[in-house]
Structure formats: C-alpha cells, structure tokens
Amino acid sequence: MTKIALVLSGGGARGISHIGAIKALMEQGIKFDIISGTSAGAFIGALLAYGYSPEEILSIFLKTRFSGYLRFGFSFGGLLRIDKAEEILKKLIPENTFEALKIPLVVTTTDIHAGTEVRFRTGELAKPVLASCCLPGLFKPIYFEGKDLVDGAISQNLPVGAIEKEADFIIGVHCNPIIIQKSSRHMHAITYRSFRLAMRGKAKASLDRCDLLIEAPGLCDFNIFDFTKTQQLFDIGYNYTKELLVRNEVKI
C-alpha cells in the first residue's frame, strides 16, 4: 500500500490556501499517512493530524481574530510575542502532545543561534508549532528545550527531508509562488520580493523532490498578513488543486 506524505510550507496568511488544497485532495479519496509542516503549515498540519476536517479548520480561521493573540513585547528579540497564541492551540488540542495526533506530524523550526533546522515529532506540541511560526524580527523567539527557536521557513520552507524516507509518494503544498513581473520601485516591495526569491531558491531542492507539487499562482496577489481574506485564500487553494488533479489525471 502506497504511503502518502503531505508537506505544507510556511507563508503566513497565504498558508490558509493549504486548507483548500487539502479539501480538494481528500475529495479525491487521498489519505495522508504522515504530515510535515513548517510555520503556517505546521499550525494547519497539527489541526489536520488531530482529526479536524478542512471545513472545521477553515471555520477556526474565519472565527478567530489572530491579531488579538499577538501582544506587543518590545525587546531585543522582536516586536511582538506570539506566545499568547498558545491558548488557541491548547484549546483546540487539549492534550497538547504529538502523541495525541491521529496522523504522525513532524514540525520544523530553526535554532536562531546555530542557524540549524530543528525538528519535533514527540512530546509537547504547542511550543514547537508556535516556534515554527515566529518570523525573526517580528516575533520574539520561543525558548524551548534549551534553544531559541524561530520560523522553520528560515532553514527549510518545504520540509520534505523530514519525512522523505518514510513515504512512497510526496505531496508538497507550497504557497509562495514567484511569477515574472515588473517589481515596484518602492523599497518595501523590493525587499519583500527579494526575501521571497531567496526563500524559494533555498526550497528548490525540496520542490523538485515532490511527486505532486501544488503551488497556486493566484497566491502572488496576497501577502503574509492577509488574514482578513481567509475565504479567498481557501478558495484559491481549493480551486487550483481541484483543476490540477483533473488536468493531470493524478492517480495515487
């Protein structure tokens, strides 16, 4: 029997499109044997692994005001503190352990001092997941198991390597597409695009190792803070994946 791995990238609010992609995959009868995620992909992956349906996960994002869980914490570590968001995850997954998940999950974070990838798959769940979402400079790192941990996307934005040897077929969902376009002359836009180009270049090896890569071009029009556009992001992920599966006649 083919063992299927689902790998979910980071991407801030664009990660909401993962939910739509997952729904389209599940409608085709595809079941996941193991999940690997970083940043937004780790958060959504944890909910899916626990047993929430795509519709239930979408509802959580539509009803939750995530900005209310991000409290200011002026310090040398970052502008905001994400630790209050732990309340959300503990409420949704009260056992707060990897062992409580119905599907094995691997969460990728980054040790900010060593600059190395750090993976978690056992023990406490909430802190590794939230650490994986801590974008350096914006969020204060989360100290866990003797390390200051930040966004896993810094070291690996599509963590295929974390589960590659445990699966026969890898489905990668990457929500950071890059299209050829004339960039704005505004310094913020140039910096943001440069960061995305660097992240994609680093993730290229992982993108190439996916048996099925889902990367909706329409996500280029959204940024990592577009949480108010939850339904649109979900629809882009769902519609693109559904069309991709039909167009390529994907059979697993």
Catalytic residue among 9, 36, 111, 151: 151
Which two three-digit tokens encode residue 44? 């959504």
Sign, Cα dihedral of 87, 88, 91, 94: negative
- Cα–Cα distance measured from residue 91 to residue 251, given in angstroms and rounded to the nearest whole number: 37
State the Cα angle at 224 between 47 and 49, rounded to 5°: 10
- Cα–Cα distance measured from residue 212 to residue 16, given in angstroms and rounded to the nearest whole number: 19
Catalytic residue among 9, 17, 36, 39: 39
- Cα–Cα distance measured from residue 197 to residue 212, given in angstroms and rounded to the nearest whole number: 21
Ramachandran bin of 11, using left for φ above 0, alpha for ψ from -120 to 50, beta for the remaining angles? left
Strands 105-111 vs 147-150: parallel, antiparallel or unpaired: antiparallel
Q: Does the active-site annotation cover 151?
A: yes
Q: Does the active-site annotation cover 39?
A: yes
The residues that are catalytic are 39, 151
